Amino acid sequence: MSQALTDLQGVGPRLQERLSELGIHAVEDLLFHLPLRYEDRTHLHAIGAVRPGTRVLIEGEVEHSAIVRGRRSMLVVVLSDGTGRVNLRFFHFRAHQKTQLARGATLRCFGEVRAGYQGLEMVHPSYTRIVPGRETPVADRLTPIYPSAEGLGQNTWIRLTDQALSALSAGKLELEELLPEGMTRNLRLPSLAEAITYIHRPPPDADVTALTERNHPAQHRLAMEELLAHNVSMQRLHRRQRARSAPALPAETESEQKFLSRLPFDLTRAQLRVRDEITSDLSQSHPMQRLVHGDVGSGKTVVAALAALRAMGNGYQVAIMAPTEILAEQHLRVFSEWLLPMGIEPIWLSSKVTGKARTAALEALATDAPIAIGTHALMQEGVAFRRLGLVIVDEQHRFGVHQRMALLEKGSDGSGQPHQLIMTATPIPRTLAMTAYAGLEVSVIDELPAGRKPVTTVAVGNERRGEVIRRVAAACGEERQAYWVCTLIEESDAIQAQAAEAVAQDLRERLDELNIGLVHGRMKAAEKQAVMQDFERGNIHLLVATTVIEVGVDVPNASLMIIENAERLGLAQLHQLRGRVGRGAVQSSCVLLYTAPLGDLARQRLDIMRQTSDGFRIAEKDLELRGPGEVLGTRQTGMLQFRVADLARDAHLLQRIPAVADSLLKHHPEQVDKLIKRWVGDASRFAGV
Ligand code: ADP
Ligand code: MG
């Protein structure tokens, strides 16, 4: 039973359209538009007893009111309730507010009380004028604050959800229970309608802290459902993929053997095991859906190359997609080195390949080029493969599911699909594996090549920068090479580039005996490539770089890394960066250069970096300190947006999910559809799959 939004009071075509932009199409959807937080306006606080820093409801009489002229005029109103005084400050105000808030008026205000220079103050409180003698009751429920969009005020959300909740309680709207009964009973979770009602309108005695932290049973109830929905949606997606047909590639090719015999090293046991897992998938007539997960430097590329050779040796095309230009270029270099001697020339495709070069590349892919390497550009419109048999996606968490699927579609001829190999270095905590990657087979390269020595890591305050620079000079004097990474968070490429240029300039002045190179995201691909090549060949001693070198860059002789402003970076990023050293035979070190004073979180991050190089431990800690969105990099991709669930906080709920998900998929496919529709939203995002 679904009610149209326009059945509600106050919803005309304009509002309906706004809501629809937010994914709200029916009254039921309003019930799933959940508050972000709550305010307690259920009782009045005595001004004299208010603690600064709290958000409270107060009431009092205006003692004094004046416009204070300064650089900006401000309306200041002194409010008193007999127990104390508070200054209300309005930086934006209209003329009529001066009269409305004149001496003698009784006001009820809600806002944060702060300790100001002249006693307690509230800046821009929300307020109502109380008519003396007329009963004005306080709220009887906690006030929900909804996530909103421009032009939609909190009052609108209250008005809309009020109507939706009344429809629910009057039985005019039914919320179908989609969780198996056994599950809610075992976990002692409330029913869906109870949970929803509680979360929208918590009673005055509700535990606001638990609610704010989304740690209330009512929220667990919804989180459970949401996590389950994401799990089944990913599983179903991957199952459907697997049900399609793909070219079976059972026999080892000559080129694989040749490649192995030419490698200057033996594969580790872990690499061999994962290679076998992959080739066993490839020999099936259904598309492989495998995630290969191995810490930075574990040697995923060789394994990917073997899979690529298997496909090419059987006459199928291969596409390798990486999230950044610099990483894709790195693959291009490595694969060219391996493949050119076998007479195979990779086709390069990035968004910077344009004009004739692009036309030529596209033509080659549409005819007989065996392998393409590139960025997002590979999955864009206009790119067509003749016979795509294998798609390799590196560092996949940077791509959204739909991007990965779009590339697969390039090889789809209606019935068949290419095999898919996903490689990621970001260690995935189990909790994430159970949602974002549900339904993929997982291989782990859990062993580093022999002879790798853990990187010695120190944290050094910026006041000892001179010392660090001398250390760089000493290392480079001994034929070692070093990275100097300049980091600025959430600034544009241009600003990052400027900062890196300034650092390079300064270091060149101080270290004029060294050859210092510079790479940043604003350089042309060819320039970047030239610098990287010089560094790889040892012509550059010290490479100053922005975080563009974060992923994939591989120069074994580089054994010292300085990371500037390390305190501003997250753990995943620090781990990735540090993974650029420690790849050769010499003992490597990493200097985390920070600017004091360190905040608590920053100190914890630097400590963990000093203590361990174990990617899993670092990832778990990262999840704990920052939350999963950051770990997966979903801020860029929007891939995993939970409304209620939080993978770090709700880890305990996840245990139950796989079993329930399996049983739902097997026995209640219709519930699965509804769950996905309710929580993951419009399933057509993944349509065509
Ligand atoms: P990642 O897993 O981070 O992508 P790479 O595939 O770039 O790691 O490998 C890192 C480095 O280790 C490369 O220089 C690669 O040639 C080398 N390497 C890979 N496998 C082995 C091995 N079994 N023994 C020695 N070196 C290896
Ligand atoms: Mg790699």
DSSP 273-325: HHHHHHHHHHTSSS--EEEEEE-TTS-HHHHHHHHHHHHHHTT-EEEEE-SSH
Nearest ligand (C-alpha, residue 580): 1
437 versus 389: which is more confidently predicted? 389
Answer yes or no: do 385 and 517 share one domain.
Answer: no
- Among 208, 229, 260, the domain boundary falls at 208
Per the DSSP assignment, residues forming a β-bridge with 143 are 39
Residue 173: pLDDT over 80: yes
Q: Whose CA is nearest to atom 5 of ligand 1?
A: 299
Substitution candidate for ligand 1 out of 296, 551, 554 with most atoms within 8 A of CB = 554
Answer yes or no: do 474 and 441 share one domain.
Answer: no
640 versus 136: which is more confidently predicted? 136
Cβ 583 under 6 angstroms from ligand 1: yes
Distance 358 CA to ligand 2 centre (A): 26
Encoded tokens for 423? 């490689």
Average of per-residue pLDDT across 464-478 = 93
Give residue-wise pLDDT tens across range 437-466.
778 888 989 888 887 778 999 999 999 999
| Structure confidence at residue 60 (pLDDT) | 96
Atom of ligand 1 nearest to the CA of 300: 2
Identify the weakest region by mean pLDDT among 84-98, 271-285, 393-407: 393-407
Nearest ligand (C-alpha, residue 295): 1
Instruction: Flag whether 619 is in a domain.
Output: no
465 Cβ neighbours under 8 A, 6+ residues apart: 593
Q: In what order do the strands lie in the sheet with 589-594?
A: 456-461, 589-594, 558-563, 481-485, 542-545, 516-519
CA 312-403-628 angle, to 5 degrees, is 120
The count of other CB atoms within 10 Å of the CB of residue 333 is 17
Distance set, CA 523 to CA 42, 76, 485, 529, 535 (Å) = 58, 53, 16, 10, 16
154 Cβ neighbours under 8 A, 6+ residues apart: 145, 146, 148
Q: Whose CA is nearest to atom 18 of ligand 1?
A: 299
Atom of ligand 1 nearest to the CA of 445: 2
Distance set, CA 89 to CA 80, 123, 365 (Å) = 14, 5, 66
Answer yes or no: do 359 and 434 share one domain.
Answer: yes
Q: For residue 401, name the pLDDT band (cuts at 50, 70, 90).
A: low
Answer yes or no: do 477 and 568 share one domain.
Answer: yes
Give residue-wise pLDDT tens across range 655-668.
788 888 888 888 88
Residue 552: pLDDT over 60: no
Among the listed residues 577, 578, 640, 569, the one whose alpha carbon sits nearest the alpha carbon of residue 397:
640
Q: For residue 687, name the pLDDT band (cuts at 50, 70, 90).
A: very low
Residue 168: pLDDT over 90: yes
Q: How many Å apart are CA 160 and CA 232, to the nearest integer?
A: 31
- Residue 171, sorted as left (phi over 0), alpha (psi -120 to 50) or beta, turns out to be left
Cβ 444 under 6 angstroms from ligand 1: no
Distance 302 CA to ligand 1 centre (A): 7
Distance 576 CA to ligand 2 centre (A): 10
Answer yes or no: do 464 and 428 share one domain.
Answer: no
Distance 268 CA to ligand 1 centre (A): 10
Q: pTM for the full model?
A: 0.70
Distance 411 CA to ligand 1 centre (A): 29
Average of per-residue pLDDT across 474-496 = 82
Encoded tokens for 49? 């007893």
Average of per-residue pLDDT across 561-590 = 87
Answer yes or no: do 497 and 479 share one domain.
Answer: yes
Cβ 582 under 6 angstroms from ligand 1: no
Average of per-residue pLDDT across 106-134 = 91
What is the domain range of residue 469? Answer: 456-612
Encoded tokens for 635? 């801020």
Backbone angles phi, psi at 373, to 5 degrees: -125, 135
Average of per-residue pLDDT across 217-228 = 90
Q: How many Å apart are CA 303 and CA 271, to the nearest integer?
A: 7
Q: Whose CA is nearest to atom 4 of ligand 1?
A: 300
Instruction: Flag whether 670 is in a domain.
Output: no
Encoded tokens for 391? 């798609």
Q: For residue 555, name the pLDDT band (cuts at 50, 70, 90).
A: confident
Substitution candidate for ligand 1 out of 260, 265, 559 with most atoms within 8 A of CB = 265
Distance 489 CA to ligand 1 centre (A): 29
Residue 62 contacts residue 79 (beta carbons within 8 Å): yes
Average of per-residue pLDDT across 27-42 = 89
Q: For residue 50, name the pLDDT band (cuts at 50, 70, 90).
A: very high
Q: For residue 198, name the pLDDT band (cuts at 50, 70, 90).
A: very high
Cβ 300 under 6 angstroms from ligand 1: yes
513 Cβ neighbours under 8 A, 6+ residues apart: 473, 477
Nearest ligand (C-alpha, residue 275): 1
Residue 117: pLDDT over 90: no
Tallying the residues shown for the chain, one arrives at 689
Instruction: Flag whether 92 is in a domain.
Output: yes
Residue 515 contacts residue 472 (beta carbons within 8 Å): no
Answer yes or no: do 385 and 504 share one domain.
Answer: no
DSSP string, 29-73: HHHTS--SEEE--SSBPPGGGPPTT-EEEEEEEEEEEEEEPSSS-
H helix or E strand, kind and range, residue 198: helix 192-200
Sort strands 347-349 and 371-374 into parallel, antiparallel or unpaired: parallel
Cβ 294 under 6 angstroms from ligand 1: yes
Atom of ligand 1 nearest to the CA of 263: 16
Nearest ligand (C-alpha, residue 445): 1
- Among 396, 412, 445, the domain boundary falls at 445
Average of per-residue pLDDT across 277-288 = 96
Cβ 267 under 6 angstroms from ligand 1: yes
Instruction: Flag whether 515 is in a domain.
Output: yes
67 Cβ neighbours under 8 A, 6+ residues apart: 73, 74, 75, 76, 98
Mean pLDDT of the chain, nearest integer: 86
Q: For residue 249, name the pLDDT band (cuts at 50, 70, 90).
A: very high
Encoded tokens for 341? 């001697």
Cβ 427 under 6 angstroms from ligand 1: no
Residue 122: pLDDT over 90: yes
Identify the weakest region by mean pLDDT among 422-426, 440-444, 502-506: 422-426
Q: The domain that contains 128 carries what CATH number?
A: 2.40.50.140
Residue 581 contacts residue 550 (beta carbons within 8 Å): no
Answer yes or no: do 412 and 472 share one domain.
Answer: no
- Among 553, 586, 612, the domain boundary falls at 612
Nearest ligand (C-alpha, residue 299): 1
Q: Whose CA is nearest to atom 10 of ligand 1?
A: 297
Cβ 556 under 6 angstroms from ligand 1: yes
Residue 51: pLDDT over 80: yes
Residue 684: pLDDT over 50: no
| Structure confidence at residue 181 (pLDDT) | 79
| Structure confidence at residue 551 (pLDDT) | 56
Cβ 271 under 6 angstroms from ligand 1: yes
Instruction: Flag whether 312 is in a domain.
Output: yes
Distance set, CA 184 to CA 373, 654, 677 (Å) = 48, 14, 20
Instruction: Flag whether 339 is in a domain.
Output: yes
Q: How many Å apart are CA 190 and CA 209, to the nearest integer?
A: 19
Nearest ligand (C-alpha, residue 575): 1
Residue 683: pLDDT over 50: no
Backbone angles phi, psi at 132, to 5 degrees: -55, 140
Answer yes or no: do 484 and 353 share one domain.
Answer: no
Residue 86 contacts residue 113 (beta carbons within 8 Å): yes
Residues whose CB is under 5 A from ligand 2 (ion)? 552
81 Cβ neighbours under 8 A, 6+ residues apart: 46, 47, 48, 58, 59, 60, 61
Atom of ligand 1 nearest to the CA of 268: 23
Average of per-residue pLDDT across 343-358 = 93
Atom of ligand 1 nearest to the CA of 266: 23
| Structure confidence at residue 295 (pLDDT) | 82
Encoded tokens for 136? 């004005």
- The rounded percent of the chain whose pLDDT value lies above 70 is 91
Answer yes or no: do 165 and 99 share one domain.
Answer: no
Cβ 270 under 6 angstroms from ligand 1: no
| Structure confidence at residue 90 (pLDDT) | 92
Nearest ligand (C-alpha, residue 583): 1
Backbone angles phi, psi at 553, to 5 degrees: -65, 135
Answer yes or no: do 84 and 151 share one domain.
Answer: no
Q: For residue 91, name the pLDDT band (cuts at 50, 70, 90).
A: confident
296 versus 176: which is more confidently predicted? 176
Cβ 629 under 6 angstroms from ligand 1: no
3-state secondary structure of 540: coil
Q: Whose CA is nearest to atom 22 of ligand 1?
A: 449
Answer yes or no: do 530 and 603 share one domain.
Answer: yes
Atom of ligand 1 nearest to the CA of 394: 4
410 versus 127: which is more confidently predicted? 127
Residue 308: pLDDT over 50: yes
Average of per-residue pLDDT across 143-158 = 86
Average of per-residue pLDDT across 305-319 = 96
Substitution candidate for ligand 1 out of 263, 266, 269, 301 with most atoms within 8 A of CB = 301
Atom of ligand 1 nearest to the CA of 451: 25
Q: How many Å apart are CA 366 and CA 386, to the nearest integer?
A: 5
| Structure confidence at residue 638 (pLDDT) | 36
Q: How many Å apart are CA 140 and CA 42, to the nearest integer?
A: 6
H helix or E strand, kind and range, residue 349: strand 347-349
Residue 630: pLDDT over 70: no
Residue 300: pLDDT over 90: yes
Cβ 302 under 6 angstroms from ligand 1: yes
Distance 386 CA to ligand 2 centre (A): 27
Sort strands 481-485 and 542-545 into parallel, antiparallel or unpaired: parallel
Instruction: Flag whether 620 is in a domain.
Output: no
Q: How many Å apart are CA 317 and CA 386, to the nearest integer?
A: 8
| Structure confidence at residue 276 (pLDDT) | 97
Q: For residue 637, name the pLDDT band (cuts at 50, 70, 90).
A: very low
Cβ 554 under 6 angstroms from ligand 1: yes
Identify the weakest region by mean pLDDT among 319-328, 479-488, 613-622: 613-622
Q: For residue 686, name the pLDDT band (cuts at 50, 70, 90).
A: very low
Q: For residue 399, name the pLDDT band (cuts at 50, 70, 90).
A: low
| Structure confidence at residue 75 (pLDDT) | 93
Average of per-residue pLDDT across 90-101 = 87
Q: The domain that contains 520 carries what CATH number?
A: 3.40.50.300
Cβ 296 under 6 angstroms from ligand 1: yes
Q: How many Å apart are CA 312 and CA 335, to the nearest integer?
A: 13
H helix or E strand, kind and range, residue 603: helix 600-611
Instruction: Flag whether 507 is in a domain.
Output: yes
Residue 264 contacts residue 449 (beta carbons within 8 Å): no
List of E strands, 42-177: 55-68, 74-80, 85-90, 106-116, 119-123, 126-130, 143-145
3-state secondary structure of 407: helix
Residue 105: pLDDT over 60: yes
| Structure confidence at residue 503 (pLDDT) | 92
Q: Is the dihedral of CA 115, 121, 126, 128 positive or negative?
A: positive
> What domain count does the chain have?
4
Q: For residue 161, name the pLDDT band (cuts at 50, 70, 90).
A: very high
| Structure confidence at residue 491 (pLDDT) | 60
Identify the weakest region by mean pLDDT among 187-191, 256-260, 344-348: 187-191
Q: How many Å apart are CA 2 and CA 618, to the nearest integer?
A: 46
Cβ 584 under 6 angstroms from ligand 1: no
